[in-house]
Chain A
Amino acid sequence: MKKYLKYIITIAAVGLLAYKSVYFKKLSEVKAKTATAFDAAGFTQKIWSEQLNTKLDSAIELTTLIKAIEAAPADAFNRHTNALAIGNYRNAMVKLNAEVKQVNEDDVLVQLPFADSMLTVKVATEFVYGNAIRDASRLVDVKDFPNTNDLNSISEELNKTVRTTILKPFKQAVKAGDKVVVTGAIEINKAHLNWSEPEIIPVRLQIVN
């Protein structure tokens, strides 16, 4: 009798747990609801054409950002930079008027006056990867995306657009001595500030000779 009681209690407990643990639906109904997969290309195209220009127009001058960070790092990082991930890396959308010093296979070195000397900046023209543009633009909120895959696909699309529509014509036209206006994303390591040849991932490039 005691044995049967034990079995009954066990079965009842398992049944209750199962009842509280799972629910059933028709697969076809669930599929119909979740059929709309994330369209990274469409999303990126929309923010590229409708929202990014405003962000580029309001980008901070690189030299101003450096000065702000050197004067009050916490405040400057808070006001001018953005990051979607935890860590020391922050991204900012910056602008600079500079002169092309050297055209390399993978980048273009430009110079601009800063303090009492010249600051050399590397503009990436070949390897445009990572999340710098997406994060610096502040147009994407991590909370809107159910998985990191979708979030990363936005970066991929943004980088692809830069490679195909911005860099291709620029690389064909640019030469040493050209005056350029560069607007793009910069990644800054909060813990190890280094302004020696910072790298910009360009989003807008104009030759203004």
Chain B
Amino acid sequence: MIAQLKIGSDTLKRFQSLIALLILCTILSFMTDKFFTADNGLNVLRQIAVNICIATGMTLIVLTAGIDLSVGSVLALCGAVTVGLLRNGVEIPAGDLFVGFTLLGAILGGLLCGWLLGWFNGFAITKFNVPPFVATLAMLTIARGFTMLYTKGHPISNLGKEFAFIGSGSFLGIPVPVWIAAIVVLLAVFITQKTKMGRYIYAIGGNEQAAKLSGININRVKITVYSFAGALAALGGIIVTARLDSAQPNAGMSYELDAIAAVVIGGTSLSGGKGSVWGTVMGAVIIGVLNNGLVLLNVSPFWQQVVKGGVILLAVIIDKAGERRD
């Protein structure tokens, strides 16, 4: 009997995000007839695609018991770098050389920029023992500053139809950003569940000392994880920029909070070692559905923030209660 109850409780815990999402959708369906439509569903998916990309990287970091506050600024800088490369290329006056970038080249350049910024975060955290909170907070300011310098504080717009397709196009009826987010999620799931790197990530988050003693190169894993998260933030930046057809110097403001919220609501423990990418996807969908529902219900944007904060707090309280029971 106790064993059966335990299994029931475990199942409930495992699917708590999905259950919360179903309850939320059911309530919203009754409250507004605009909610449960195909168009609105695609709209929600398009909106959450960027958060899913960022939050997936954040999940890997949080699983190692870290945090990355810089993703919003990295997103803005990499979006700007991508369109800067696409529109202006790189000038080398000394050699009378102009290096132009194709769409593929600009995207790769943006992703590389994100990877390097993430690598720098990881390097500062592992080599200089800077707490992740502080290192990434510094990067938040540095990257935002570089974005302002690079764009001179002005948006860069009119980026062409090909680039805009990444943000607002559709393939087989599904928005392109959703396809990108799906690929990112599948890749992250593969890494966490099917590779040595995935096992190392969980091991480091569970007990860093034990992981170190068992021969895992902790610094290398952490640097890789932060770099990967940086590249995913860059990918988010490319989607946002393409969707707006404009690189905004203030893009991605407080996106890190939405990403952390998705991770937490999805059941990943902030102390590391526990959680999953699927949980984070659920968390991102819950936040997206909540935002969408509140807009459809004409709730004031100020109240929307209050409600969102309340949901995050509730998710953490439930998670902590679950941990105590365990």
A residues bordering B, Cβ < 8 Å?
A: 17, 20-30, 142-143, 145-149, 152
CB distance from A76 to the nearest CB of B (A): 22
Report the minimal beta-carbon distance from B300 to chain A, rounded to whole angstroms. 12
Q: A146-B158, A148-B154, A148-B157 are in contact. Are A22 and B98 (CB under 8 A)?
A: no
Tell whether A147 pairs with B155 under 8 Å between CB atoms, given A21-B108, A27-B91, A27-B93. Answer: yes
| Residue among B87, B95, B97, B109 with max Cβ neighbours from chain A (10 Å) | B97
B residues near A145, Cβ cutoff 8 Å: 157-158
A17, A22, A143: which has the most chain B beta carbons within 10 Å?
A22
Seed contacts A21-B104, A147-B156; 12 additional CB < 8 Å A-B pairs: A21-B105, A21-B108, A21-B109, A22-B105, A23-B102, A24-B97, A24-B100, A27-B91, A30-B91, A142-B157, A145-B158, A147-B157
* Contact status A25-B104, CB under 8 Å: no
In the complex, which of the residues A17, A27, A146, A149 contacts B97, with contact meaning CB atoms closer than 8 Å?
A27
- Minimum distance in angstroms from B152 CB to a CB of chain A: 8
With a cutoff of 8 Å between Cβ atoms, the chain A residues found around residue B156 in the complex are 147-148
Give B36-52 as 1s and 0s: 1 = Cβ < 8 Å from A's Cβ atoms: 00000000000000000
- Tally chain B residues at the interface, Cβ within 8 Å: 24
Residues of B102-135 whose CB lies within 8 A of A: 102, 104-105, 108-109
Cα A43 to Cα B38 with chains together (Å): 46
Assembled-state Cα–Cα distance A19/B260 (Å) = 38
Give Cα distance in the complex from A25 to B96, angstroms: 9
What would be 6 A-B contacts, judged by CB atoms less than 8 Å apart?
Answer: A22-B101, A25-B97, A26-B97, A27-B95, A146-B157, A147-B155
Q: In the bound complex, what is the Cα–Cα distance between A143 and B95 (angstroms)?
A: 34
With contact pairs A26-B97, A27-B96 given, residues A143 and B105 touching in the complex (Cβ less than 8 Å): no
Please state if A24 and B98 are interface contacts (CB–CB under 8 Å): yes
Residues of A contacting B158 in the complex (Cβ-Cβ under 8 angstroms): 142-143, 145-147
A25 pairs with B105, CB closer than 8 A: no
Q: Say whether B99 faces chain A, with CB atoms less than 8 Å apart.
A: yes
A22→B99 CA distance, assembly (Å): 7
Chain A residues contacting B157 (CB-CB under 8 Å) are: 142, 145-148
Looking at the complex, which one of B98, B104, B155 makes contact with A17 (CB distance below 8 Å)? B104
Residues of chain B lying within 8 A (CB to CB) of residue A29: 98
Minimum C-beta distance from B205 to chain A (A)? 31
A153 to B2, CA, bound (A): 73
Contact between A149 and B96, CB atoms less than 8 A apart? no
Contact check: which of B93, B99, B102 meets A24 at CB < 8 Å? B99
- Minimum CB–CB distance from B104 to chain A (whole Å) comes to 5
How distant is A4 from chain B, measured CB to nearest CB, in Å?
24
| Closest residue of B by beta carbon distance from A21 | B105
Contact, CB under 8 Å: B96 / A147: no
Residues of A with C-beta under 8 A to B304 = none
